[in-house]
Structure formats: structure tokens, C-alpha cells
């Protein structure tokens, strides 16, 4: 009854046999099928606490998944497959009561099966059966479907979703999704789980609706001993707890029961804002590279997600394999003549963020000569600098060295050419504690050489995410990113890794599908806010143009341009994106060339705090931002992103305070996108399905095959096109 360990995934790669009609009657069935095994089954939901799931459909294969729970050790199950939900038209899978498979304790009693030799474009029903003490218990019935044949000229509709934090939140959007019977599959773009148990910066702590680790001593602890103590997953057991908890939600279960999923990860499946095996919780104060932790996250994802590893159908996760070669999840799915879905992994192979979180704010990155050579002239934002070792006989070096401990930076960094803006900021702080007659004069910048410094990009703290991953001064950052990109031959923005990027571009360029849809984890559409006119209100340090994020494609501008250029040449490429917790429709283009562009649709979160809420929280918690009134600006973020000055001409639509999901419908002539949006205030309520229906607002867009133009219908009922050259609907 028990299979070998390698059968965890492939379960002998079950080949579907003959159809057996009327298994509950006296009809002639099959020598291998016992009709009594398909009737009189008891409800086994208690043994299948995460229900069932399927994924990665092809014209002839699909992955089926379940997890069984009943004590320790391996557990034997039977898989049953039929053409109908009542299991009157069953398939002979080679064993009399259904194919025997084993849920191995080594993989948390999860089972993944690759069904083969299926018919294209066909719906199948499946369930798992567990026999205990003479009674046969069945899982809930799952419904899945194969992709149409590659040459089938058929319309396809699929949903896409992301960011489903369970801490204090409810999965209301799924309650609507599961009512749409015409959805063929669901693409999940990552942040399927969140690794923290109640981070007060963005998570709620509602009783009964959150993540609790069975073994918190194995986890990373934050704010230890304080009222707001919380944890982050570290061990394999911790990461398994995440999937056990999230997949126990009844509405997420129902979505998996009804639709095959095509999933990719983002950062929270491992650690917030991670790159490779490196986390960013301490913002550069510690080295947070932890390969064992990363591999624990990978193994749990492998165990729980119904993914087909097409390059190795019998692949089994090996914890002893070297990272990152332990798990390759980028892949593509062909779905008929009109759709090719290409899923990328933007976390495993990416370089560190361009601006290091622990970069010393006073650092001179490009001197005046080099900056002028790169930019063609000296930019107005260039920051004066002095050699602090020799300037004024070393007076300011002594001041900065003495202040290092209190200010949080390393005294060893106080050497060589340093930003005058930074020096004067430290001096001003020191002067606050000195009597008037002992105060140190600020350095007069007149006549000094000026260049690119860390503080000119908004990096004010010795460590931290502001001015590195978030709220970065755009003009100075773009200059630095250009210099780094050239100096490293592109390595500074290597996001996909060389092998994946080559595969990605080859796959898209060689595809003959009408539409190439890129499953892209984070946002391509620019999100810049122009505060240059608010100097009198906010102060000169904020009267600049800021990128809200440099953690995503806005922080990888040169690589983004390269990819968009290549994808534009391929034609009919549409990116679908999650991560940012907001809805966007955009026309991202190569800098300075709107003829090189693609379309992007970004879905809001299923439940995670909205982009607007996160911005308000950040602006309120940072003393400098709070003092400048940044929280009020965050509350009006949409007006800044789509101001009359058109700061983001590629941004056609934004909704920053709603959650939900989106669908795409494609055929040989057109693609239609629909956003299903729920106000964030609903996320803390367990709404009924009818209440969800009442609360939903819907936005729709369309694209015609052969042109990268985005259309919608305006309030007057007219069809209008987004013009990225003017940043307006025309």
C-alpha cells in the first residue's frame, strides 16, 4: 500500500485509463474497478484540513494536491477521478478503489500527483479517500480542467490575485471569485502567505484570525517581552504553519476546489523585501543572509503549492541541494492559440537593492567631474562636498566623529569627501545642545565642488529603508542607478538572473500565441510624486521629486527599460502584477520613447493593507515625515500620482485604497480586463457573499490585438484611449 519516497510528487505520474460509466450500477465496469469503493463514503473534511487543490494545467496534464492529517507517519490514500461531480463516470486509474498514493510525513503529509494522458479542454472532478478502522472518508470534491490544445482558437478567461494577509483580515474577494463559473484558472502573483504573526506596522491581531506558530521558539522574535511582541517564520515547521493556517480559510479552499491555480512567489513567502536568501528586517544593521531559512521557505512552498516542474516531472525537493539550485519555479503555460502565460521569479536571483540600507548618508558617490561627464552638465540637485580630513583643519571631522555614536553611524565613515548637507545637518543637531557662544558655524556651500551623494538621494539615516528602498529622490537616484549599471555591466539591476532572463525573452519572442501574458511580481508603472512646489510648506528637503518605492521596478530603471524594449518588439505583451496593494492600469514605456511600450494591469490585494494605508502608517511613524505633514500627503496620494503636471504619464488608472482581484478575457482579437474592487474598510469584516456583491465596484479596460493601446469607457459612455505622450485619456 505504500509507495517509495520519490512517488510523493509523481505517484507514478498517474496515467488516466479507461472511462468507466455507471460505476454504481450493474454495468460492466473494469477488472480494476470495484464499484462499491465509490459509494457510501463518509465526510472526511476533518482528515483533509486544507481540502484539495489543482494547478498548472496543460492540454494533457494537471497537478492534483491534498494534505491528510491523522497522527504521525506516512498515510495511504486513494485518488479518484471522474467526469462528473457525482462520480458516476469514473476513470480506471489502475487500482480497484482509485490510485493508491502516499502522503509522506517527510513532506508534512502533502500529496502531489501529476495526471497524464488527459484530454485537452476537459473538466475533471477528483477526490481523495482515506480508510480508517473500516470506514472510508472522502475529501471534498475538486474541479479542475486541462488547457485547450495549443492550436484551439478559443476564448479564455482567468483571474489573477495577490497579497492575502490573514492577520486580522478576511478573504472577501474570493467570495465573489468563486461565483464566476466561467473562470478557467487563477494566477496567483505572490504573497500567498505572510511570514509574520502580527507585525504592528501593517498587520492586525484579531482573535481567531491570524497566524500562530506551534513552535515559536524556532521563529525570529521582534519586540521581545513587549506588548507588541511578534514573530517571523524561520524554521521549516514555522513555514508549514503558515500554509496550514492560510489554506484552512474556507473561501481560499473553495477557490482551489473550483479552479486550477498557476502560482509564483513574491517576498513574503520568505521574508519582506528580500533578495535571494537575504532579509531586510534590520535595514542593514545586521547581515540577514540565511540560506537555511530560505530553503525552509522553499520546501514549504514546494510541499503546499500545486506546481508542475515541467523540466523535471519527477522532481522532488532535496533539502541538501545548494541554494538557489534547490528549486526553480519560473515556467510557462500555453493555453490554446490565444494565450501564453509566462511566470517569472523576481526574488531568487535578484541583486541587492541599488541603494544599500546601510549606506553612510554623507558618502560621495560621484564627484563633480564624473557627474558632469555622465549627465552632460552639473545638475541643479548636485550636493556640495568637502574633504573632511583637511577642511578647516579637521574641525568638522572631530565634530562628526564625536557625534557618530548618538547619530547611529560608524565614526570610521567620517573620512574623505563628505556631503556638506550631511555635515551641516549633524552640526545643527550638535548645536541644539550648545550655548549660543559655543555653537559651530555651518559650512557655507558657495564655491564648493558638488556631486552625487547618498543624502542627495534621500538617504538621511545611517540605516533604514527611507532613501534606500522607499521615498527616494528620483533625479539623483536615476543618476546613481545609471552610473552603477554602467560600472557593473548591468549586474546592479540583475533581477531575473542571467539564465532566467534568457529563458524569459526567448520564450516570449518565440511564442506564436496571440497574447503573451507576463506573470510579474512587482509594479512596472512608475509611481513618482512631484513635491517641488511645496518647499514653503514642507521645507526644502522635501521640495523634490520622489519615487515612492525603489524596491520594485522603479528601483531597477535601466533593466526595466531593457526588458520593456524587448517585450515591445515581441508584440501583444501584457504584464499582470500584484505586490503593491493597489489597482493600476498602465502603459509603461522605455524612458524617452513611448513607441516602445507594453500594457500592465495591477491588481489590488485580496486582504493586505492598502497602499494608501501603508503610506499613511509610514508617514505617521517616521518622526521627520510626520513633522513635515507627510501623513496628509499620503492620504491624498492619488492626486499627487495623477496631478495636472502629469508626473506619471504611463499611469492610466489608480485606486489605492481598495482590495480585490482582477480578470482577463482574451480571444484572437481583443483582451478585456476587469477590476473587482472592495473598499479596504471591508477587509476586517466577514462579509456575506451578497454583501460582497453589493460593495463591489467594477472598472473595465480593453486592448486590441496588434497595438499596445489601452482603452476604457468614460463616464459619458465614450470609448477613450490612454495617450502616454500626454498622460491623458483621448
Sequence spans of domains, the chain: 7-145, 156-331+341-350+574-729, 380-464+475-487
The cell 519560473 sits on which residue? 330
Convert the pLDDT of each residue in 569-606 to its tens digit: 999 999 999 999 999 999 999 999 999 999 999 999 99
Phi, psi of 113 (to 5 degrees): -130, 135
DSSP state of 141: P
**Alpha helix stretches (DSSP H) within 271-419:** 291-304, 368-375, 395-407
Return the pLDDT at 144: 98
Cα 234 to Cα 55, 59, 163, 392, distances in angstroms: 27, 38, 20, 51
- Whether the model pTM is above 0.85: yes
| Cβ neighbours for 691, distance < 8 A, ≥ 6 positions apart | none
**Cis peptide, bond prior to residue 324, ω within 30 of zero:** yes
Query: Is the C-alpha dihedral spanning 536, 542, 543, 549 positive or negative?
Result: negative
Query: Which pLDDT band, with edges at 50, 70 and 90, does 630 fall under?
Result: confident
The class that CATH gives domain 156-331+341-350+574-729 is alpha beta
Residue of 89, 492, 521, 563 whose CA lies nearest to 329? 521
Convert the pLDDT of each residue in 518-575 to its tens digit: 999 999 999 999 999 887 677 778 889 999 999 999 999 999 999 999 999 999 999 9
Instruction: Answer for the pair 47, 55: CB distance below 8 angstroms, yes or no.
Output: no
For the cut 60, the answer to whether the pLDDT of residue 53 exceeds it is yes
Query: What is the pLDDT averaged over residues 361-367?
Result: 98
Return the pLDDT at 164: 98
Alpha-carbon span 176 to 689, nearest angstrom: 7
Return the pLDDT at 616: 93
CA dihedral 552, 556, 561, 564 (to 10 degrees): -30
Convert the pLDDT of each residue in 313-333 to its tens digit: 788 999 999 999 999 999 999
Q: Give the Cα-Cα-Cα angle 231, 354, 653 (nearest 5 degrees).
A: 80
Residue 180's CB is within 10 A of a number of other CB atoms, namely 13
Query: Which pLDDT band, with edges at 50, 70 and 90, does 2 fall under?
Result: very low
Query: What is the pLDDT averaged over residues 107-132?
Result: 97
Question: What is residue 250's three-state secondary structure?
Answer: helix
Return the pLDDT at 12: 41
Q: Which three cell numbers, joined as nine digits, stand for 97?
A: 478503489
What percent of the chain shows pLDDT beyond 70?
96
| Cβ neighbours for 693, distance < 8 A, ≥ 6 positions apart | 176
Query: What is the pLDDT averaged over residues 323-345?
Result: 97
Return the pLDDT at 10: 38
Alpha-carbon span 270 to 346, nearest angstrom: 13
Query: Which pLDDT band, with edges at 50, 70 and 90, does 237 fall under?
Result: very high
25-36: b (≥16 Cβ within 10 Å) or e: eeeebbeebebe
Instruction: Answer for the pair 472, 368: CB distance below 8 angstroms, yes or no.
Output: no
Residue of 336, 297, 330 whose CA lies nearest to 155? 336
Phi, psi of 110 (to 5 degrees): -90, 150
For the cut 90, the answer to whether the pLDDT of residue 16 exceeds it is no
Burial classification of residue 629, based on how many CB atoms lie within 10 Å of its CB (0-12 exposed, 13-18 middle, 19 or more buried): middle
Alpha-carbon span 706 to 514, nearest angstrom: 9
Return the pLDDT at 538: 72
Counting DSSP H helices and E strands in the chain, the numbers are 17, 38
Return the pLDDT at 104: 95
For the cut 90, the answer to whether the pLDDT of residue 19 exceeds it is no
Query: Which pLDDT band, with edges at 50, 70 and 90, does 17 fall under?
Result: low
Alpha-carbon span 400 to 427, nearest angstrom: 8
For the cut 50, the answer to whether the pLDDT of residue 9 exceeds it is no
For the cut 50, the answer to whether the pLDDT of residue 26 exceeds it is no
What is the maximal distance between C-alpha atoms in the chain?
A: 106
Same topology for domains 7-145 and 156-331+341-350+574-729, yes or no? no
Instruction: Answer for the pair 619, 630: CB distance below 8 angstroms, yes or no.
Output: yes
Return the pLDDT at 536: 63
> Would strands 651-655 and 583-586 be described as parallel, antiparallel, or unpaired?
antiparallel
Return the pLDDT at 13: 64
Instruction: Answer for the pair 604, 658: CB distance below 8 angstroms, yes or no.
Output: yes
Alpha-carbon span 86 to 118, nearest angstrom: 19
Query: Which pLDDT band, with edges at 50, 70 and 90, does 380 fall under?
Result: very high
7-145: CATH, from 2.30.40.10, 2.60.40.380, 3.30.565.10, 2.40.50.100: 2.60.40.380
- Taking CB atoms within 8 Å and a gap of at least 24, the contacts of 530-534 are 530/640, 530/643, 530/645, 530/647, 531/633, 531/640
Query: Which pLDDT band, with edges at 50, 70 and 90, does 31 fall under?
Result: low
Query: What is the pLDDT averaged over residues 489-511?
Result: 98
For the cut 90, the answer to whether the pLDDT of residue 642 exceeds it is yes
Amino acid at each position: 500500500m505504500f509507495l517509495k519516497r520519490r512517488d510523493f510528487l509523481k505517484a507514478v505520474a498517474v496515467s488516466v485509463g479507461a472511462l468507466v460509466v455507471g460505476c454504481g450500477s450493474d454495468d460492466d465496469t473494469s477488472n480494476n474497478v470495484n464499484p462499491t469503493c465509490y459509494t457510501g463514503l463518509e465526510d472526511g473534511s476533518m482528515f483533509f484540513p486544507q481540502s484539495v487543490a489543482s494547478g498548472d494545467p496543460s492540454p494533457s496534464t494537471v497537478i492534483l494536491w491534498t494534505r491528510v492529517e491523522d497522527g504521525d507517519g506516512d498515510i495511504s490514500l486513494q485518488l479518484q477521478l471522474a467526469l462528473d461531480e457525482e462520480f458516476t463516470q469514473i476513470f480506471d486509474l489502475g487500482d480497484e478503489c482509485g490510485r493508491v498514493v502516499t502522503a509522506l510525513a517527510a513532506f508534512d503529509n502533502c500529496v502531489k500527483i501529476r495526471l497524464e494522458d488527459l484530454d485537452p479542454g476537459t473538466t475533471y472532478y477528483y477526490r481523495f479517500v482515506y480508510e480508517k478502522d473500516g470506514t472510508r472518508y472522502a475529501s471534498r470534491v475538486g474541479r479542475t480542467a486541462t488547457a485547450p490544445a495549443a492550436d484551439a482558437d478559443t476564448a479564455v478567461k482567468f483571474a489573477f490575485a495577490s497579497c492575502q494577509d490573514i492577520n486580522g483580515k478576511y478573504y472577501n474577494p474570493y467570495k465573489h471569485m468563486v461565483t464566476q463559473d466561467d473562470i478557467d484558472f487563477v494566477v496567483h502573483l505572490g504573497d500567498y502567505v505572510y511570514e509574520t504573526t502580527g507585525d504592528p506596522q501593517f498587520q492586525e491581531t484579531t482573535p481567531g484570525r491570524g497566524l500562530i506558530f506551534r513552535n515559536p521558539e524556532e521563529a525570529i522574535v521582534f519586540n521581545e517581552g513587549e506588548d507588541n511582541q511578534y514573530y517571523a517564520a524561520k524554521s521549516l515547521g514555522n513555514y508549514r504553519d503558515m500554509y496550514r493556517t492560510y489554506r484552512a480559510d474556507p473561501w481560499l479552499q473553495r477557490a482551489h476546489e473550483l479552479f486550477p491555480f498557476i502560482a509564483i512567489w513574491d517576498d513574503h513567502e520568505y521574508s519582506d523585501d528580500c533578495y535571494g536568501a537575504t532579509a531586510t528586517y534590520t535595514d542593514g544593521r545586521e547581515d540577514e543572509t540565511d540560506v537555511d531559512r530560505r530553503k525552509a521557505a522553499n520546501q514549504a512552498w514546494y510541499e503546499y503549492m500545486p506546481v508542475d516542474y515541467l523540466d523535471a516531472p519527477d522532481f522532488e525537493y532535496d533539502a541538501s541541494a545548494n541554494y538557489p539550485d534547490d528549486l526553480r519555479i519560473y515556467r510557462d503555460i500555453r493555453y490554446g492559440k490565444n494565450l501564453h502565460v509566462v511566470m517569472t521569479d523576481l526574488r531568487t536571483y535578484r541583486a541587492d537593492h541599488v541603494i544599500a540600507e546601510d549606506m553612510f548618508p554623507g558618502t560621495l558617490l560621484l564627484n563633480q567631474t564624473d557627474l558632469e561627464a555622465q549627465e552632460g552638465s552639473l545638475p541643479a540637485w548636485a550636493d556640495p562636498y568637502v574633504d573632511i580630513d583637511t577642511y578647516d583643519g579637521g574641525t568638522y571631522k572631530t565634530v562628526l566623529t564625536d557625534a557618530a555614536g548618538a547619530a547611529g553611524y560608524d565614526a570610521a565613515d567620517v573620512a574623505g569627501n563628505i556631503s556638506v548637507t550631511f555635515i551641516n545637518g549633524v552640526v545643527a543637531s550638535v548645536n541644539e545642545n550648545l550655548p549660543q557662544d559655543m555653537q559651530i558655524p555651518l559650512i557655507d556651500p558657495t564655491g564648493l565642488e558638488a556631486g552625487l551623494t547618498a543624502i542627495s538621494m534621500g538617504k538621511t539615516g545611517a540605516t533604514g529603508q527611507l532613501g534606500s528602498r522607499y521615498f527616494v529622490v528620483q533625479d539623483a537616484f536615476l543618476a546613481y542607478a545609471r552610473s552603477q549599471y554602467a560600472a557593473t555591466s548591468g549586474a546592479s539591476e540583475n533581477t531575473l538572473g542571467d539564465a532566467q532572463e534568457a529563458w524569459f525573452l526567448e520564450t516570449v519572442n518565440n511564442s506564436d500565441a496571440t497574447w503573451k501574458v507576463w506573470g510579474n511580481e512587482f509594479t512596472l508603472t512608475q509611481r513618482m510624486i512631484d513635491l517641488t512646489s511645496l518647499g514653503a510648506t514642507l521645507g526644502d528637503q522635501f521640495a523634490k521629486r520622489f519615487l515612492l518605492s525603489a524596491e520594485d521596478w522603479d528601483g531597477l530603471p535601466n533593466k526595466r527599460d531593457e526588458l520593456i524594449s524587448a517585450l515591445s518588439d515581441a508584440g501583444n505583451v501584457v504584464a499582470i502584477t500584484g505586490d503593491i496593494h493597489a489597482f493600476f492600469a498602465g502603459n509603461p514605456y522605455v524612458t524617452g520613447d513611448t513607441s516602445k511600450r507594453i500594457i500592465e494591469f495591477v491588481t489590488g490585494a485580496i486582504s493586505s493593507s492598502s497602499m494608501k494605508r501603508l503610506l499613511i502608517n509610514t508617514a505617521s511613524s517616521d518622526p521627520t515625515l510626520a513633522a513635515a505633514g507627510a501623513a496628509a500627503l499620503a492620504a491624498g496620494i492619488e492626486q499627487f500620482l495623477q496631478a495636472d503636471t502629469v508626473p506619471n504619464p504611463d499611469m492610466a488608472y489608480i485606486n489605492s485604497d481598495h482590495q480585490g482581484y482582477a480578470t482577463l478575457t482574451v480571444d484572437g482579437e481583443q483582451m478585456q480586463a476587469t477590476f473587482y474592487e472592495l473598499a479596504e474598510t471591508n477587509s476586517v469584516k466577514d462579509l456575506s457573499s451578497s454583501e460582497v456583491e453589493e460593495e463591489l465596484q467594477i472598472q473595465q479596460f480593453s486592448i486590441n490585438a496588434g497595438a499596445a493601446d489601452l482603452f476604457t469607457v468614460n463616464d459619458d459612455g465614450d470609448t477613450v484611449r490612454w495617450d502616454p505622450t500626454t498622460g491623458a485619456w483621448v
